[in-house]
Amino acid sequence: MAHAEHGTGVPVDRSNGALASGVEMFASVLMVIIGLFHVVVGLTALLRSSFYVVAGGYFFGANITTWGWVHVALGLLVGATGAALLSQQRWARVTGIVIVALSALGNFMFVPIQPLWSVLIIAVDVVVIWALATQLRGLPAVRE
């Protein structure tokens, strides 16, 4: 039911608030999952560097160990920000957009090394950015 009475007999529409909090929870859970994925990819690169093949002549062709540390760092940042968003920290909304945009950029540069995986994570990153931006748009302006 979208309407509830607030003790005054006047119906209060809570459907937008429920939808907004649901979208935020969806984004934060996706961020935690993306963070875990980054850590797994990073650990794979660190512990089993022969798993990945770097094409010759790639401009961002840092060695696989470097990519491993980049993914681990991104994973920890994205996951921690997602956890902060789950605990309803207001700062995590804007920070989440920035960190997930960095995740998308990092995966864009990782496309020649792991194409399908990178494109899938970029797609999920875009969904998270959309969800967080939609949530930010619905917030009231802060006045001092």
List, as one string, the DSSP characters of 13-74: E-HHHHHHHHHHHHHHHHHHHHHHHHHHHHHHHHH-GGGS-PPTT-TT---HHHHHHHHHHH
pLDDT digit string, tens, across residues 40-81: 999 998 888 777 766 666 666 567 888 889 999 999 999 999
Residue 82 has pLDDT above 70, yes or no: yes
pLDDT over 70 (residue 20):
no
**Would the pLDDT of 36 be above 90?**
yes
Instruction: Assess whether pLDDT exceeds 60 at residue 8.
Output: no
- The mean-pLDDT minimum among 1-5, 52-56, 90-94 falls in 1-5
Distance, CA of 112 to CA of 60 (rounded, Å): 9
Reading the block at residue 1, the tokens are 């039911």
Q: Is the pLDDT of residue 37 over 90?
A: yes
- State the pLDDT confidence band at 112, using cuts at 50, 70 and 90: confident
Instruction: Taking residues 9-18, report their average pLDDT.
Output: 50
Q: Which tokens is 19 given?
A: 């939808």
> According to the model, what pLDDT value does residue 128 have?
94
Quote the pTM value: 0.75
- Return mean pLDDT, the chain: 81
